[in-house]
Amino acid sequence: MSGAIWVVGEMADGGLVRISTEIATLARDLAAASGGTASGVVVGEAPGAAAGELADYLPAVRAVSVAGADGRTAAATTAMAVADLIAAAGEPGPTLLLLGATPDGRDVAGMLSALLGWGVLVNASAVTWDVTVGGPVVEMSTFGGRLITTSTFTGSHGIVTIRPQSVTAEPAAGHGVVQSVAASDSPVLRPVALVDRVAEASAEAPIEEARIIVAGGRGVGGPEGFATVRSLAVALGGAVGATRAAVDAGWIPYATQIGQTGKTVKPALYLALGISGAIQHKVGMQTAETIVAVNRDPDAPIAEFADLFVVGDLFEVVPALVAALRSRGT
């Protein structure tokens, strides 16, 4: 495998999402290692602003305008536009597509895999270029984090989805060129109408992107207990997460759930309050750089993999911790 690497940018509210800047940084590194090129694609009704942001990280970005895209879901529109661009690029076109391991990124990657006949390597925590293999080597954590696998493609083309926070985003030395491209009109995929957008909670940043997460579990005891969790999150400038038990009990929305049937996160700090650390939760947070847990039960499984484990009542420890953080001006 050689040649061009394309980053498929992801948009939210007209701007670029942060994972795309992380992936663009990775794409530059891979291009340098492989002797190829890195560039970007952003698809939308008005992709200019997001394409401009992506051009801070890449030498060239294609901004594909799709009329009426805002009235449709992103996945089919983006996948179709990117597949058309690749068909139009001819040979040698791109050989490697990079997307986020996010809901939108997974949707687009799955569709592009089917449309192009290219394989997908998923949930990468690291990607390197291996001269011996002659292509990208993709590392992922599997079986609840008990194994790390490295994989590659058997053919000359591939798609990789990359976990948020796997790479530190760094802008390129110079601003890249944004090229406007009109989308061709070939509706291979059925469009899905976007009828309405509903914000339920106060618009918080996605927990996948949070540097610090304070999460509550069964030990939080109820919806009121999450006020205590939130007070610590505010004091640390972090986001609030939860276990499935807390979500199932209706204490906090599903969007905050971390674990096997929720989200996978990789923050710099994961502060677990009243969380036992069962395997279904552990799979979603164990790659956090630092794990601190507060739990009354000294035998909770999280004691096995936390860096710091405080045996105590979270309703006593958290207010003391918030006070200590405030007194040092954090």
Partner 1 sequence: MRIVVLTKPVPDTTGAERLGPDLRVDRTASPAVVNANDEYALEAALKLVEAAGEGEVVLLSMAPASAPETLRKALAMGAHRGVLVTDPALAGSCTLSTARVLAAALRTLEFDLVLAGADTSDGTGGVVPAGVAALLGLPYLSYAGRIEPSGGRVRVHRLSPVGYDVIEAPLPALVVATQALGEPRYPSLKGIMGARSKEIATLSLADLDVSVEAVGGAVGGAVATTRVLEVRPPVVRAATEIVREPAPVAAARIVEFLQTRKII
**Residues 217-276 within binding reach of partner 1 (CB under 8 A):** 236, 244, 247-248, 254-255, 257, 260-262, 268-269
Distance CA 63, CA 77 (A): 13
Site membership for partner 1, residue 186 (CB under 8 A):
no
Contact with partner 1 (CB under 8 A) among 47, 158, 164, 176: 158
Residue number with CB closer to partner 1 (39 or 264): 264
Q: What is the pairing mode between strands 37-44 and 212-216?
A: unpaired
Site membership for partner 1, residue 34 (CB under 8 A):
no
Site membership for partner 1, residue 75 (CB under 8 A):
yes
**165 near 207, Cβ under 8 Å?**
no
User: Per CB under 8 A, which of residues 190..219 are in contact with partner 1?
Assistant: 190-201, 203-207, 212
Site membership for partner 1, residue 26 (CB under 8 A):
no
- Amino acid, res. 216: G
Site membership for partner 1, residue 118 (CB under 8 A):
yes
Number of residues that bind partner 1 (CB under 8 A): 103
User: Per CB under 8 A, which of residues 299..328 are in contact with partner 1?
Assistant: 303-313, 316-317, 319-321, 323-325, 328
CB of 178: closest distance to partner 1 in angstroms?
26
Residue 211 CB burial class (10 angstroms; 0-12, 13-18, ≥19): middle
Give the tokens for residue 144.
């609840």
Distance CA 164, CA 263 (A): 11
Site membership for partner 1, residue 134 (CB under 8 A):
no
**Segment near partner 1 (CB under 8 A), from 28-36, 87-95, 140-148, 168-176?**
140-148
Contact with partner 1 (CB under 8 A) among 150, 171, 231, 249: 150
Peptide bond into 92 cis (omega under 30): yes
Q: What string of DSSP letters covers 247-282?
A: HHTTSS-GGGBBSTTSB----SEEEEES----HHHH
